[in-house]
Structure 1
Amino acid sequence: MTKVLLSLHVLAAVLAIGPVAVAASMFPAALRRIDGAAAGGGDPAGPGDPAGPGALAGLRQLHRVCRVYAGIGVAVPVFGFATAGSLGVLGSGWLIASILLTAVAAGLLALLILPAQDGALAAASGGAPGTVTGLAASARRLAMLAGVFNLLWATVTVLMIVRPGSTTGV
């Protein structure tokens, strides 16, 4: 049963967290393209948009991927706790550190990244004068947040593989 739980945990991590990490990283660049089009006087949603046709639709799609897969990502800690329980490692330091880092990453996504994406989408959709500066600042902030989010997940992945103090020889 442990092998099944571990397989489900890893699959959930790859299939749920991977898309969020990629989409969150792509969102700021897509926002910058829309910002550049707005600065040049183009209509971000129009076919003659220098950012490319459907740039705003692409931005919405990236946000939707982040939102939907964040919800699916709840399966990762669920299968993780089940796996840790069956392995008897719930009190291990590497696992506690991984749990804390996962909680920080989830909080970052839910409390900062997704709301900032919502705000940037609203500003980009409105196309009101003066939003260009706001879009550029939002893109910079979202790029930084996505980088921290991805770094947290990379650290958790390394902890899951290396498992400091492990006696398995791996």
Structure 2
Amino acid sequence: MTKLLLSLHVLAAVLAVGPVTVAASMFPEAVRRTHRDPDDREALATLRTLHRICRVYAGVGIAVPGFGFATAGSLGVLGSGWLITSIVLTTAAAATLALVILPAQDGALAGAQAPRSSPGDRSAARLAMSTGVFNLLWGTVTVLMIIRPGSTTGA
């Protein structure tokens, strides 16, 4: 059962967090492109698509900690320092996505759809920075999951 839970946890992470990471990273440049040419319908469609990917896969991403807790319970490592650190970092990443990135994307999308809105270079830069923090947090969690202290893999 532990192998099944671990497999589901890893699959959920790859299939849910991966698309959010990529789409969120592409979003700030898409905002800049939309502001450079407000009449570019393709740029606006790209912006909408990237935002939708982020929203949908953020919801799907709830499965990652769910399977993670089940796996940790099965392995008996719920009190391990590396896992607690991973939980804190995952919570910080989720909060960054839900409270900073998605609302900023909402605002940028609304601004791009408004006629003659002002360029959002500062907001795009802030969004790029927030996305970088989100990616760094997830990268750190991934490394902790691979090198976890006390690993029985021998790696």
Does the pair score TM above 0.5? yes
Q: 1:34 offset after TM fit, Å?
A: 1.0
CA RMSD of aligned residues (A): 1.1
AA aligned to 1:157 is T
Counterpart of 2:135? 150
Identity %: 72
Match of 2:82 among 80, 91, 94: 94
Tell me the equivalent position of 1:2.
2
Mapping for residues 1-170 of structure 1, pairs under 5 Å = 1-38=1-38, 43-45=39-41, 54-129=42-117, 131-132=118-119, 135-166=120-151, 168-170=153-155
1:116 maps to amino acid: A
| Cα shift readout 1:95-129 (whole Å, capped 9, x = no counterpart) | 00000000000000000000000000000000324
**Alpha-carbon distance in 2 for matches of 1:153, 1:16:** 12
- Displacement of 1:166 after TM fit? 3.5
1:44 maps to a residue whose letter is D
TM-score, reference length from structure 2: 0.96
Question: Which segments of 5 or more consecutive residues in structure 1 lack a partner in the other structure?
Answer: 46-53
SS at match of 1:101: helix
The letter for the 2-side match of 1:78 is G
Tell me which structure has the larger Cα radius of gyration. 1
**How far 1:37 moved relative to its partner?**
1.5
1:60 positional shift: 0.4
